[in-house]
């Protein structure tokens, strides 16, 4: 065999060997395959409390008499949650204002069987406090809307102490707060990732 033939044969064998090695490197056995991504973590379970007594029994329903005409006072600002300007329309925004005891600052809490949450209904308008458009982002604004029983209109009350609670939206799992720790009249109420700060705490009075 001539030297040139030998070189061509060697080159072919080398190419075949390299190709085989490349294919072997690309082959992935089931044991080597990436596992399926882990499922998204469920929201941290929030204990459900009887807002009238602090009882930790999630099945206990609060009587309407115990939850009608309630004021929700922001612990940080000392101001009351209200529907500003006595609004009665859908999407009227919730804000804080110096407490005066008017019906637009009074709320009825209706227990929702099965979820342990509450509808929070403005006494003046008869509409429910919600996070509009089923929002799940920080700073989505709280407003009122005709009650329909959806999760974005349900609130879990987490006991802090005394008659003070956090309010977690059942749809977004974010807490009702006065954004940026505001202390002025008409500062808007919004939702934000729960951190337990005083601007996310509400005293029932």
Tell me the C-alpha distance between 149 and 167, whole Å: 17
Q: Which residue has the higher pLDDT, 38 or 71?
A: 71
Tell me the C-alpha distance between 189 and 169, whole Å: 13
Are residues 51 and 155 in contact, defined by beta-carbon separation less than 8 angstroms? Answer: no
**Span 194-200, mean pLDDT?**
96
**Does some domain include residue 46?**
no
Tell me the C-alpha distance between 71 and 42, whole Å: 32
Where does the pLDDT of residue 50 fall: very low under 50, low under 70, confident under 90, or very high at 90 and above? low
Tens digit of pLDDT for each residue in 117-157?
899 999 999 999 999 999 999 999 999 999 999 999 999 98
How many domains, in total, are found in the chain? 1
**Does some domain include residue 34?**
no
Of 146, 101, 110, 141, the closest CA to residue 125 belongs to 146
**Does some domain include residue 173?**
yes
Are residues 102 and 86 in contact, defined by beta-carbon separation less than 8 angstroms? Answer: yes
**Does some domain include residue 22?**
no
**Does some domain include residue 38?**
no
Are residues 54 and 157 in contact, defined by beta-carbon separation less than 8 angstroms? Answer: no
**Does some domain include residue 77?**
yes
| Residue 82 confidence (pLDDT) | 98
| Residue 158 confidence (pLDDT) | 86
Of 20-24, 58-62, 78-82, 160-164, the range with the highest mean pLDDT is: 78-82
For residue 158, give its domain range: 64-204
pTM across the whole model? 0.73
At a CB cut-off of 8 Å and minimum separation 6, what does 67 contact? 51, 52, 108, 109, 110, 111, 118
Q: Give, as one character, the DSSP assignment of residue 40.
A: P
149: domain CATH number is 2.80.10.50
**Does some domain include residue 3?**
no
**Does some domain include residue 19?**
no
Residue 164: other Cβ atoms inside 10 A: 16
**Span 50-68, mean pLDDT?**
55
Pairing relation of β-strands 128-131 and 164-169?
Answer: unpaired
């Amino acid at each position: 065999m001539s030297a040139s033939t030998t070189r061509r044969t060697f080159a072919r064998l080398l190419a075949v060997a390299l190709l085989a090695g490349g294919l072997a490197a690309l082959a992935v056995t089931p044991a080597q395959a990436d596992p399926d991504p882990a499922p998204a973590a469920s929201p941290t379970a929030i204990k459900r409390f009887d807002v009238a007594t602090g009882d930790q029994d999630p099945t206990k329903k609060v009587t309407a008499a115990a939850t009608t005409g309630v004021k929700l006072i922001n612990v940080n600002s000392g101001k009351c949650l209200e529907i500003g300007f006595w609004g009665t329309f859908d999407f009227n925004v919730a804000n804080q204002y110096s407490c005066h005891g008017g019906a637009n600052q009074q709320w009825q809490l209706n227990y929702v069987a099965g979820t342990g949450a509450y509808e929070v209904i403005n006494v003046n308008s008869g509409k429910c406090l919600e996070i509009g458009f089923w929002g799940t982002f920080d700073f989505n604004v709280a407003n009122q809307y005709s009650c329909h029983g959806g999760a974005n209109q349900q609130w879990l009350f987490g006991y802090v102490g005394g008659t003070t609670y956090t309010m977690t939206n059942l749809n977004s799992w974010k807490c009702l707060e006065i954004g940026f720790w505001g202390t002025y009249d008409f500062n808007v109420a919004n939702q934000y990732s729960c951190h337990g700060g005083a601007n996310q705490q509400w005293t029932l009075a």
